[in-house]
Chain A
Amino acid sequence: MRTMPPNDGGGPPASLDRRGFLAGAAALAVSGTALIHAREAWGLEVKALKPDTMATLIAMARDIYPHDRLADRFYAVAVKSFDDKAAADPKMKAMIENGIADLDGRARKAFGTPYRTVGWEAQRVTLLRQIEGGPLFKAVRPALVVSLYNQKEAWPIFGYEGESAGHGGYISRGFDDLTWL
């Protein structure tokens, strides 16, 4: 991934490239070896996997753990390690590419279009249910449950406050502030 200026806090996390163009276009587009998210204004260089494969992994990640208040960038950060793993390990790369090709094949057969353009979540979930015992899903889900929910930038969206000792704990910050009982 390219090094870019520090994140200004309002946009994508520093680990994703900021690209302020194509606003209003399709959510996630492939451009050469990069994925461009116009609406969220970020780009992601893909080094080992096919960019389409990475885009499908991002869609799959949202369908596995669908949080409507989380932007796509959190899912992109959560699965981008698979590109690193694919770069380091040809077997991993083949497993992911074959797994996504299989998923797309099932999508075309059932809905006439690749996975990430299948229109409804419920339809995509039927496809995921078909592959949940397979190697791709069994690699992605356990990694994702850590890499998605361990993003500090996502915690405030869930209300979680994270580190507390540096703030003196909650002894004077509402450890017992519940009043609705």
Chain B
Amino acid sequence: MAAKFDLNDDTVVVIVGSGAGGGTLGTQLALKGINTVILEAGKRHEIEDFVNDEWASFAQLAWTDMRTTSGSWRVARDFPNLPAWIVKAVGGSTVHWAGASLRFQPHEFKAATTYGRIKGTNLADWPISSDEMAPWYAMAEDRMGVTRTNGIPGLPGNNNYKVLEAGAKKVGYKEVSTGRMAINSQARDDRGACQQIGFCFQGCKSGAKWSTLYAEIPKGEATGKLEVRPESHVVRIEHDKSGKVTGVVYHDAAGTIRRQKARLVCVAGNSIESPRLLLNSESSKFPDGLANSSGQVGKNYMRHMTGSVYGVFDRPVKMWRGTTMAGIVQDEAGNDPKRGFVGGYELETLSLGLPFMAAFLDPGAWGREFATALDAYANMAGMWIVGEDMPQEKNGVTLDPKAKDKYGMPVARVHFDDHPNDVAMRNHAYSRGRAIYEAVGATRTFPTTPYPSTHNLGTNRMSAKPSDGVVNKWGQSHDIKNLFVSDGSQFTTGGAENPTLTIVALALRQANYIAEQLGQKTI
């Protein structure tokens, strides 16, 4: 049974956010016997509440609280108040993620060393190596039931995948498969096999896809050590005279201000809200925000180099049928600077329903060129490009000087400019994507601009030296021992891979560390 802790209980671990980082960490701590409270800003929607309807689901799940944008990225023009498409609900963005579960490549943990000095970047090596991460990746894969690991078969390929696979093989790619997915290809962990429903982004109606909402949190709650409080929006982290964190202030569902005391606080609100919370928690002792002696809180925002390619064919594809991210081409994922850029990218199938295709194919476009593309919707195949983007100090999250949320707190302003390396990589990927579809007879192809960000990374990054980043190799803040960061904002660099598996692996590793430190009473 789920626990219920007192607001004045200062022995609990408080986690802000219930997604891949927070939901996993909270569950794992509870399994280790540690009393934990997860405060989640969004509501708790269960599987039966999800809807196979893109706009209705967006209204139900998306984080649509006010944010502002700046910079040369097109999102700032097309969606000025929606820099990111992420979830505000219990389970966080594990409710709408596609399920791709890839390990970082070894060199990606050593980006600065591997890529060298690149003008305009703030590249750094992770303070963790690939070898150090390997057991945690293995644990995460088993936990999430990742296909093609632990003897779990791959998922079957849908129509969209068939087109990608045939085209990729024709242009000579070898590493083409239905990928490693945290979607059950057969019943496992009390969850059934994928029913090829589609609508992975709208919450999996069968529960085949791993989400902290139903695959982790209930296990934590069953220990009697975990309490999840939905509609609890944390606005401030408090500390004592010594600088130690003492608890958090949040607004509950009724808007009432509450103060939850804590022995330790872990921030896992995604890479936009997490730095915002640290910055909004400024005090006379920490005038630049908590954990910010380096000045790196909110900096180095990464969103992956993304984009999409859609191909139109003379015969039907019906790409919306079945798994949204149904397959992957990995031949371009390595680092081969001869291509004109460092780092690499993955090509992964993607489909949008008609309503979202209209909104995102070419935002702002109209007229016959646009309309004829949608007339061909049923004959379209689609792929998403996801590659490593360069950390730049100027890209990041700051507090908007004017806009405030309903609690009177400054909202996040998200600034982003592509680095020339990002642009070169995107152009390369667009041309390879087009070649794949043309190889199997596409009559028309479209390069689609990046959507509002789904992979938000790097704004509280890990570093070996306290002057280079916000947290150490355990996600523990350099400045405040009992303050941790537990989401993708701790990424030092982004890698080419979808980040969830790495976030989960880091959360499992962090849970182990926190349990050890609490046991040794060092925190």
Contact = CB atoms under 8 A, between A and B. Distances in A.
Interface of A: 63-67, 69, 121, 125, 132, 141, 145-146, 148-150, 155, 158-166, 168-171, 173-178, 180-181
A171 B185 CA distance: 12
Contacts of A145: 358-359
A127 to B, nearest CB: 12
B367 interface: yes
B359 A125 contact: no
B358 A178 contact: no
Interface string B363-382: 01011101100110110000
A165 B52 contact: yes
A26 to B, nearest CB: 24
A178 B316 contact: yes
A159 B162 contact: no
Nearest to B363: A145
A145 B365 CA distance: 10
Most B CB contacts (10 A, CB to CB) among A66, A148, A162, A175 go to A175
A175 B375 CA distance: 21
B55 A159 contact: no
Given A162-B353, A165-B205, 6 more contacts: A66-B371, A165-B206, A175-B156, A175-B159, A176-B157, A181-B166
A121 B355 CA distance: 25
B61 interface: no
Interface stretch (B18-26, B138-146, B192-200, B258-266): B192-200
**Main SS of chain A's interface residues?**
loop
Interface residues of B, number: 45
Interface in B159-192: 159, 162-163, 166
A165 B195 CA distance: 8
B206 A174 contact: no
Interface in B292-318: 315-318
Contacts of A121: 368
A170 B53 contact: no
A89 to B, nearest CB: 20
15 contacts: A63-B367, A66-B368, A149-B354, A149-B358, A158-B378, A160-B354, A163-B51, A163-B52, A165-B50, A165-B195, A165-B197, A171-B196, A174-B321, A175-B156, A180-B315
A148 B206 CA distance: 30
A157 B319 CA distance: 16
Contact of A168 (B195, B364, B371): B195
A42 to B, nearest CB: 23
Contact of A177 (B159, B197, B206): B159
